[in-house]
Amino acid sequence: MSASQLLARNWGALAETTRLLDRTAARLQSSDDLMRRSDWRVAFSDIRLTSEQTLESNQGAATLAYVLHLAIDIANADFGNIQLFDPAERGLRIAASKGFDTEFLDYFAVVRGSDSACGVALQQGCRVIVPEVQNDHCFDAASREIVLRAGVRSVQSTPLILPSGRLLGMLSTHGRLPGKPSLASLTLLDRLARRTARLLE
């Protein structure tokens, strides 16, 4: 590849990243308006809020629904969930989800161990990316079967961590096909995770 071709390709990638950043920044800017709306349940009617005891108001539920909607869009994913850390259980409890069946939600209702991507991310305190569920060591036989039966082939789990280092939860997106989010998407997911942790605090 010639220098001019390489430069053109890099400029194209930079332009695409800039467009993605601008689009997501605009959506993040509008999130406060959305959280004040009374019709958020209609706007995100396909997002299941499963831990009502952890959500003190409609505003809290709207926040989770909006964050999950954004994360799935940013990662170009098909499914997703947000888990909140439950000190009593010393694990992650699903608070919002999209696209999953009851079997998946029941099995991963509370995650404590390291038999899933979010469990490994919880233990390591950093993002975990699984490009192909079928042969990744993050899953044991039982959890792999549940995930594959749900139609999931790829996962990324990003911790929701405060600047102090305190972990509040986990933001995960899942795809029907093997692969992983682009570098630009991961950068945006990091920004979204930091903002979400501050909102949850």
Percent of the chain with pLDDT over 90: 54
Distance CA 118, CA 125 (A): 10
Tens of pLDDT, residue by residue over 119-168, are: 999 999 999 999 999 999 999 999 999 999 999 999 999 999 999 999 99
Tens of pLDDT, residue by residue over 71-84, are: 999 999 999 999 99
Q: Which residue, among 165, 162, 157, 155, has the nearest Cα to 195 in the 3D structure?
A: 162
Helices marked H in 3-155: 3-29, 31-35, 40-43, 58-74, 102-107, 117-124, 141-149
* pLDDT over threshold 50, residue 37: no
- CATH code at position 59: 3.30.450.40
* pLDDT over threshold 50, residue 53: no
| Unique residue bearing structure tokens 């009374």 | 38
| Residue at 94: amino acid letter | I
Asked if residue 170 lies in contact with residue 83, where contact means CB atoms within 8 angstroms, the answer is yes
Distance CA 161, CA 159 (A): 6
- Decide: residue 63, CB within 10 A, 0-12 exposed, 13-18 middle, 19+ buried: buried
Number of structural domains (the chain) is 1
Q: Which residue, among 119, 120, 98, 99, has the nearest Cα to 108 in the 3D structure?
A: 119
Asked if residue 26 lies in contact with residue 83, where contact means CB atoms within 8 angstroms, the answer is no
Structural domain range at position 90: 3-200
pTM: 0.75
What is the predicted pLDDT for the residue at 55? Answer: 47
- Give per-residue burial for 136-146: e unless 16+ CB within 10 Å, then b: bebbeeebbeb
Q: Pick the residue with more confidence: 14 or 165?
A: 165
